[in-house]
A and B are shown apart, each in its own frame.
Chain A
Amino acid sequence: MLGRTMHGIVYDALRDEFYVPQPFAQAILVFRGGASGEEKPLRVIQGSATRLSNTDKVEIDPVNNEILVSEDAVILVFDRLANGNVAPKRHLTMPGEIDIDAVSVDYVHNVIVATNPAGSAEEKYPRLLFLNRTDQGDVTPLRVVGGKKTLLTGTFGMRAFPSKGLVLVAMSGPSTAGPHDGSFVGVWSTTQDNGDVAPRWTIGGPFGELKQPRGIDLDVKGKNVIISDKVLNAVLTYNFPEIF
């Protein structure tokens, strides 16, 4: 049931499962860790009740047993064990139907972080929206990071690091067509940063190896940040003990 276009994947280390969004079938697929070959998913969320539409990226909250999916202007939240044609248990939207792309959850500090690629009506810079994890309905962000100092441009993938209260954001710079000088992975605090603040660290750039970073994950034991890059068609591992 996998497809040839998947822009998200997340591993649940507590239960040894991984989650993949399948946009062309409007589905969330859950596989056992170590799945190989043509193996059936353990669970599939798909159908008319789900409200799944683009299903581009997915996040798992292993502590609070929730699956989060960004769908353009809404964040859908499913029960972790949801299976079949089931409705989300709650959803979050923001006034003005702000577009949402990636979503990540800091379950330690109860913060959902969402990227807002298009920015506000006044300023077109991409933004990071920090939401109360347990909110639902039409919500107001707790904090918003955005502006020139943030260097946020072309946001794509994101990964929270809950135990340290950090979030890592991949961005491809002002133009996906290049030059790719503005590409990097930026690190912000999920609990403190607010407004037009520079990233605490930048990884792989600007003016670094990264051309169009997309996916991010952390090898905590090795103190490594692992990044996929679309232009390089590569997976790069940065040893970055500062954030660990």
Chain B
Amino acid sequence: MKSLQAAVHNLRHRKAGLVMMTAVMAVAVSVLQFGRMELPPAGGHLPRGANAHAGGPKLIAVAELPEMDGQMCEWSPASYTATQITATTQSRTQTALSDSASAAKRRPVRVIRDSYPAFSSVAVDAKNNEVVVTDENLFQILVYNRDAATPPPTSFSEPKRILGGSNTKIEFQCGLYIDPDSGDIYAVNNDTVDTLVIFSREQRGNVAPAAELRTPHGTFGVDVSEERKEMFLSLQHSNAIVVFDKNARNRDVPLRLLQGDKTGLADPHGIAVDTKRGVLYATNHGSFREFNRTTGDITQTGMYQGTFSTASTWPAERRIPGTGKTFPSSITAHDIVAQGNTPPLRVLSGTKTQLNWPTGLSVDSETGELYVANDMGDSILVFAPDATGDVAPLRVLKGALTGLRNPTGITLDRKNGELWVANFGNHTATAYKLGAAGNTPPLRTIRSGPADEPALMIGNPGAIAYDAKREQILVPN
């Protein structure tokens, strides 16, 4: 779930490669002649049924560069051992002789995969002294003792409880909430399973959720107002917030919907509710497109259950073509009962805020201070309760000692005076004193992988491109 820039994998720096390292592009296309494309009629459209040719260019000839199948001297990196070179040659011989049936069973010569959990969101069960994290890499929810810590020589800490497997409907769970009374775990999925899953404290392993709620596609954040018995969900894909009864289940529909071009919601991610002050906050990455219920194209309707509902409080999901815009990252503050296409009370945005893909969000119920997991800034930003416009944070937690790396989840533990962060970029959940600022090391760190093992941050890789010039694989996530 990381940016493209974070997921470029350079073949030269990977071991176990049977991939040939070459300095020349494999196929260069020589275009000997091509002309000018004729333009369509004004408006760019032809009548339906016209089936017309554009009368455009035709490729005349293609010339490939010589391939390196032994006819030329193959270049190998100096770091290649004789064994590696031999292995490469043998592999080619073997595969060339195989038939198509065995080809289907051929194993990959190289796999780039993170074998350790990647934490994306975090919540604390103060009553039971536990910390809960979601893992978007291996599709799990992990529960640790709150005071657990992974000492440096240890590869990782064993969780005391794991939920995961096809029965759980856990995949890309990106938002967490723990019921303070029951300890029930609420977790939302961002992209692939349009279901909020709820597990009791007794559940573990590959079990069906104790309860479920169908959610709109692209749900990201979840928070609950226990006083109002309402559950708030941010919807990344449809630029909206929906509010459910806290006890909503199955195919119940939202109580309220906040959506539209006036709301300031643009690719919303984290969500936090301050019931005491009657304010609802959302972090926005800035991408925007408009929706309505009558025209345009419907969005993907969910790969597992289908999500479309005709309820007026279900988000409009028909995209309006050509309405795309890109805004700076922001935090929008809304009235807790806002609905419809209502403008925010306040907007935080601008260079002084340091917001850079703000993702996880939590509010201090006592002070009203707003805590932001600032994904691409590798920082935690803390804003005053009434902050608005382009203002600097009250405090910034950032630096090499903090252990922060692509923080995406954040939660406050007021009972123990701690701040918890899920770092998607380094296999850790880190705990700090609530008022920590500057380059302050964490009080404790729970690691899910060895400290020297890089987190690949490959999450839901929907595409791939090979940069032949640099011998790099580009992976958007």
Q: Is the CB of A63 within 8 A of B34?
A: yes
**A190 at interface (Cβ–Cβ under 8 A)?**
no
CB-CB < 8 A to B237: which residues of A?
5, 24
With known contacts A26-B323, A203-B104, A138–B46 Cβ distance under 8 A: yes
What CA separation (Å) do A89 and B43 show in the bound complex?
Answer: 9
**A191 at interface (Cβ–Cβ under 8 A)?**
no
**B95 at interface (Cβ–Cβ under 8 A)?**
yes
Q: Is the CB of B29 within 8 A of A208?
A: no
**B160 at interface (Cβ–Cβ under 8 A)?**
no
With known contacts A64-B59, A138-B51, A215-B461, A2–B324 Cβ distance under 8 A: no
Query: Interface of chain A, helix or strand or loop or mixed?
Result: loop
Q: Is the CB of A202 within 8 A of B103?
A: yes
Least CB distance from B130 to A in Å reads: 26
CB-CB < 8 A to B427: which residues of A?
none
Which of B111, B113, B297, B323 is in CB contact (< 8 Å) with A54?
B297
Q: Is the CB of B58 within 8 A of A110?
A: yes
Q: Is the CB of B296 within 8 A of A239?
A: no
Q: Is the CB of B40 within 8 A of A136?
A: yes
CB-CB < 8 A to A140: which residues of B?
51
Which residues from 22 to 55 on chain B have a C-beta closer than 8 Å to any C-beta of chain A?
22, 24-29, 31, 34, 37, 39-40, 44-55
**A227 at interface (Cβ–Cβ under 8 A)?**
yes
Which of A49, A62, A214, A223 is in CB contact (< 8 Å) with B29?
A62
Q: Is the CB of B304 within 8 A of A89?
A: no
Q: Count residues on chain A whose CB falls below 8 Å from chain B CBs.
A: 111
What CA separation (Å) do A27 and B297 show in the bound complex?
Answer: 16
Q: Is the CB of A233 within 8 A of B285?
A: no
Q: Is the CB of A14 within 8 A of B29?
A: yes
Q: B114: nearest residue on chain A (CB-CB)?
A: A233
With known contacts A25-B324, A47-B322, A223-B92, A90–B4 Cβ distance under 8 A: no
Which residues from 88 to 145 on chain A have a C-beta closer than 8 Å to any C-beta of chain B?
88-91, 93, 95, 107-108, 110, 132, 134-140
**B84 at interface (Cβ–Cβ under 8 A)?**
no
Q: Count residues on chain B whose CB falls below 8 Å from chain A CBs.
A: 108
Q: Which of B146-154, B201-209, B396-404, B463-471 contacts A (4 or more CB under 8 A)?
A: B463-471
CB-CB < 8 A to A36: which residues of B?
5, 8
Q: Is the CB of A5 within 8 A of B59?
A: no
**B310 at interface (Cβ–Cβ under 8 A)?**
no
**B343 at interface (Cβ–Cβ under 8 A)?**
no
Q: Is the CB of B51 within 8 A of A135?
A: yes
Least CB distance from B162 to A in Å reads: 17
Q: Is the CB of B57 within 8 A of A235?
A: no
**B3 at interface (Cβ–Cβ under 8 A)?**
yes
Query: Interface of chain B, helix or strand or loop or mixed?
Result: loop
What CA separation (Å) do A244 and B11 show in the bound complex?
Answer: 20
Q: A55: nearest residue on chain B (CB-CB)?
A: B324
**A42 at interface (Cβ–Cβ under 8 A)?**
no
**A81 at interface (Cβ–Cβ under 8 A)?**
no
Q: Is the CB of B96 within 8 A of A242?
A: yes
CB-CB < 8 A to A139: which residues of B?
51
Which residues from 209 to 244 on chain A have a C-beta closer than 8 Å to any C-beta of chain B?
209, 214-224, 226-230, 232-242, 244
Q: Is the CB of A53 within 8 A of B321?
A: yes
What CA separation (Å) do A179 and B282 show in the bound complex?
Answer: 37
Which of B37, B469, B477 is in CB contact (< 8 Å) with A64?
B37
Which of A54, A162, A235 is in CB contact (< 8 Å) with B473?
A235
Q: Is the CB of A236 within 8 A of B108?
A: yes
Q: Is the CB of B287 within 8 A of A3?
A: yes
Q: Is the CB of B46 within 8 A of A136?
A: yes
Q: B321: nearest residue on chain A (CB-CB)?
A: A53
Q: Is the CB of A226 within 8 A of B29?
A: no
What CA separation (Å) do A9 and B96 show in the bound complex?
Answer: 29
Which residues from 41 to 92 on chain A have a C-beta closer than 8 Å to any C-beta of chain B?
46-55, 57, 62-66, 71-72, 87-91
Q: Is the CB of A222 within 8 A of B113?
A: no
**B62 at interface (Cβ–Cβ under 8 A)?**
yes
Least CB distance from B320 to A in Å reads: 8
Interface positions of A (Cβ within 8 A of B):
1-11, 13-14, 16, 18, 20, 22-27, 33-39, 46-55, 57, 62-66, 71-72, 87-91, 93, 95, 107-108, 110, 132, 134-140, 156-157, 162-163, 176-178, 184, 200-209, 214-224, 226-230, 232-242, 244
Interface positions of B (Cβ within 8 A of A):
1-5, 8-9, 18-20, 22, 24-29, 31, 34, 37, 39-40, 44-59, 62, 64, 67-68, 91-92, 95-96, 98, 100, 103-114, 136-138, 166, 191-192, 218, 236-237, 267, 285-289, 296-297, 299, 303-304, 319-326, 357, 376, 458-470, 473-477
Q: Show 11 A/B contacts (Cβ-Cβ < 8 Å), sorted by A.
A: A4-B477, A5-B191, A6-B462, A6-B476, A9-B474, A89-B44, A136-B46, A136-B50, A208-B105, A217-B466, A233-B113
Sorted nearest first, the 7 A-B pairs with minimum C-beta distance are: A26-B324, A137-B46, A220-B26, A215-B464, A234-B113, A24-B287, A221-B26
What 18 new A-B contacts, CB under 8 Å, besides A7-B462, A52-B322, A95-B49? A8-B476, A9-B476, A10-B465, A13-B469, A24-B267, A26-B321, A27-B324, A47-B324, A51-B322, A53-B320, A107-B29, A137-B49, A137-B51, A200-B100, A209-B107, A217-B473, A228-B458, A237-B110
